[in-house]
Structure 1
Amino acid sequence: MAAMAAATTKPNPNPLTTAVLLLLLLHHAAAVNNPDVQPLLLFKTTADPTATVLTSWTPTSDPCTGSWVGVSCLHNRVTRLVLENLNLTGPFPPSLTSLTQLRVLSFKQNGFTGQFPNLSNLTTLKLLFLSHNRFSGDFPPSLSSLSKLYRLDLSHNNFSGSLPLSLNRLTHLLTLRLEQNGFTGPISGLNLPSLQDFNVSGNGLTGNIPVSLSGFPATSFRGNPVLCGPPLEKCNVGPSDPTRPGGAMASPVSPKTTVSSSPTVVPSETKPPVKSGNSRRSKISSLAIIGIILGDILVLGLVSLLLYCYFWRNYSNKSMSGKSSGGSQVEKIVYSSSPYPNPAQSGYERGKMVFFEGERRFELEDLLRASAEMLGKGGFGTAYKAILDDGNVVAVKRLKDLNVNGKKEFEQQMEVLGRLKHSNLVGLKAYYFARDEKLLVCEYMPNGNLFWLLHGNRGPGRTPLDWTTRLKLAAGAARGLAFIHNSCKSLRLVHGNIKSTNILIDKTGNARVSDFGLSIFSSPSSAPKSNGYRAPEAALDGRKLTQKSDVYSFGVLLLELLTGKCPSIMDNSGPGSGYSGVVDLPRWVQSVVREEWTAEVFDLELMRYKDIEEEMVGLLQIGMACTQASPDQRPKMNYVVKMIEELRGVEVSPSHEARDSVSDSPAVSEETGRASE
């Protein structure tokens, strides 16, 4: 009975064993459900038949757990397959075309052979490195359909045939390396405007090097005997040896035609002698030609003299009328409304030029006489470059649409701003206040602004803004903004209009923050509700600005530096197409970082630089922290400066702020300070 009872009694399962078995079953189910497992296992059977290299690739494991060598995933799909220098062999496995989310594929320095399959399914592929293998056949035509590709390296293989013009579809391509293959034919039709790394040396290419590729070094083209043009030898358009660079392939006239004689040709010794009459007619013809030329010159001279007299008379009349009206044409354009008071208005005092420090160096009349050049229009008026009679150059800003209660309020704010002295702020020199005219005179910055450095002349011939300069300008702008925030503790000053056009570049290449402190005078009509830089809490009322809203705007500026995208451009396509009108750059960056590959947010012009990924990701994290929706979650500018300087490897001195501090103005009341918040 006891034995029967023991036999009928079920053993209690071990809880630990059950949990392990359950985890294995779940893990196996995840691996089975992953659509990329079978294509990778098929690739393993052909590329590693001895199973000595890809030993971690097992049917019972999941490639997205990090255990499969060379495989990386995102959202449980394989996005990177990097298998370099592993002695893998065989043809390119067609099964890999099923990895539709693949973005990086690198088979460098292996033993792959044969021709390419159709890769048009890999629509997300961005990097393709297949150098130092034994691939053969024509240039893979399916590569031209991979519109997102920006690195392509097929060098040191056995490819042959001509390069198709369909390559020009790869408008984002930054790298094209085809050296040491057997490509033939011309490359004159290639036009890849974004190309930064190019090499076709060691092939059999012929013809002219196109202008779009002539900027690359000669080493990119050597080893192609019949290739010519800059940077190689100049092409020879005449008949020559076709084996030499630039040599013509054949003369259009056959050798027989050039050496054969015709029976109708009179030999030179049987030609009749030239008569003296012919010589006389020739001499007369020469004199007639000289006379005609001299006559033409005299007629042209007379006509030019008449035209000169006519236009000079008109010009003199216009100059006299301009002087009698009291100013030149340029001055009328720059100062269209006179700053002088109307004499008929009694009790109105004429304005005067007030200097922030030092002796008076010029008067309003000097500015009116100065030659002026418009620099640009902003939210607070138009800026001009003015060259004074003594040669000094200043920037003059005509302040428009300001909400000023009176002269005293304006003077108090100008006094505060005039005390702000810092190497990363544009220095203020003087101001002018009258009822109909308000001017602010500043230092002139000769190297433009950050907006034009980032976005100006995008395309062929542009000099990209390098990473070191971007990081330097970001640090300088951060120091300038932090100084504004900390310069006057009782007033809690704000900038109110941080954007790339207000970050100017001085003659030594340092960032200078401009247009600070003017937001206190914003009127409801002039305050921009949404220019891409506005913090969410300030979007409804542009006059309610705080230091934390400045931090948000600066964060957008950092994202602009990293992405190369202007936050205030119209965009209805691409990754930001979910937002109509102005691009919401912080939201777009957050969505890409959250849903996609982080590297996609970075400016393509930064891809040429090596070993900067860590710094770019670090600055990206700072920009995202500054653009948090909640103001309380944003860091203070002092901490932002510290984080950026740590990225640059610069030690921040604790006495840095003390050296650039200013004292609170005794003439400014607390009431004015609260108004500026």
Structure 2
Amino acid sequence: MVVVPSLLFLLSLLSSTIFFVPSSHSFSEAESLLKLKNSFTQTNALTSWVPNSSPCSSRWAGVMCFDGIITGLHLTNMGLSGKIDIDALTHVSGLRTISFMNNNFSGSIPEFSKLGVLKSLLLSGNAFSGEIPSDFFSHLNSLKKVWLNDNRFSGKVPESLAQLTHLIELHLENNQFTGSIPAFKQSVNSLNLSNNKLDGEIPGIFSTYDVSAFAGNDGLCGKPLEKVCSATPTQSFAPPASTDYSNDNKLVVGGVVAAMVIVLIYALLSSKNNREDDFSQLGRDTMDEMVEVHVPSSNRRNSESSSRKGSDSKKGGGGGGGGGGSQHGKSGSMTDLIMVNDEKGTFGLSDLMKAAAEVLGNGGLGSAYKAVMSFGLSVAVKRIREMNRLGREAFDVEMRRFGGLRHRNILTPLAYHYRREEKLLVSEYIPKGSLLYVMHGDRGTSHAELNWPTRLKIIQGIARGLGFLYTEFSSYDLPHGNLKSSNVLLNHDHEPVLSDYAFHPLMSPSNATSCMFAYKTPDYFKYQRVSPKTDVYCLGILILEILTGKFPSQYLTNGKGGTDVVQWVSSANSSEEMERELLDPEIASGNVANTNAVNQMIQLLRVGADCVESNPQQRMDMREAIRRIEEVQV
């Protein structure tokens, strides 16, 4: 992984580096990295690592710096093998993120436990093997992201992983882990344990997660899987077979009667339910550590197991259909990139493979990356594994249709790559990022920019983009289908751009159900159907989010954190005084003397409330919602 630090990345590192003193030991750190390099074999990708030069000012490949301090080591897709000299890394005091993804390392996991201040440890796509000690992560209390997927690890999932209080991403898929899933202290935003050999009951804390996170483990049972756990005690002192509770609450104690077990379970559940929801993870923690990577290529292990699964998206812009790019290769090859919009120039897959890139995030549809091409174009690449409903030619028709779209509030793709098991969608990169990040990820400069005229502009821009989609895709059940703040990107002038739209016909029903926000609404939960009015409901959530400044709990799969904006707004009982109290103080307090502005806010608040009417039959349609939004004038 090779990275170019972005503003968001630098901001994310600020809190962890502000107390470092730069450069007095920079030369010794250079020596330490050279010692690390000497422990590798096949180091052709590290030719920039040379003696008598500075890793930061000389821009050593894969070394990330902030203010002259080495903060990240992202050596992805570099063909490295050999030993990872952890002792050398202990002398790099500012190191917070490490990635050795998609290399050729093997053997047992190195002693990263010596590096107690790490925030991200990314080892995916190697050949590490063997058991990981149960207490391996007990001294890595700052870890937020652990990616060990696509290796050959065996034995039990380390208990110490479950004790990490800051963990938000855990990827262990495609290994050989055995035994039960340990009892985690808290839920994580991104979890994948699929394709291992795990067994036993899934802990209750994960009961609302997507089924795909646990697929390929024949021995697992319990929610969210349909497989019911059979109560067959294997020891005479096991709890009664009729007791139904999760593994993390099971206590096997000789002589303890069932009544005592029930009392203990009740106490545990009460303490868990009374725990204050902490939503501070969202925003910075889900987006802060932008990792420098190369756009994923088909690594050597993909051909061994095409059933393996994995991972979300951003922006593109405009114009002209047609050709450019490489010719179609064989099905499943990585040789073709098909241009559908050449207004930003033409490029091929090889240009992407050579581009320095950052991981933007993981979401319901897949992983998203920013890639900077050698000729200066910045693009967002979304890697999607769930879009398998159409064959190559039908998919090409849809992509070319998308490439021909022209609207200031719509993200138009530039190119795509087709493989049966996954797709790459390439769009122009939008530097300000998503509305989700600007609203909730940084309560600093970006959020201060969101005054009332800006928020009104965003809401009306979203409405105009939806109006265009509802004209272009009028025959679709879901002209958008995945409308939420992470899929609203903001240009430099806060003009909103909609992404991830009209994917519904491209996805199988089961994939759409698990990946698209439309299926998280009452329309599906209560009535088992979605329709264009489902997009209206999602628009209502967005309006309420923008006006209240609250992060909607509706976005969270596990239901933990955020605010139920629908319930909260409905509690106002149409009282104008109470409605004012719902408004984000950032906009309400600054306009207390501006009666017109406050009236506009309340007018839109009521539009949002009407959009989230729980019964689709009683909900307004999109045309009416857009009309009422456009009526609000500054």
TM-score by structure 1 length? 0.44
Which protein has the bigger helix share?
1
Higher relative contact order, chain-length normalized (CA < 8 Å, sep 6+)? 2
Query: Larger Rg: 1 or 2?
Result: 1
TM-score by structure 2 length? 0.47
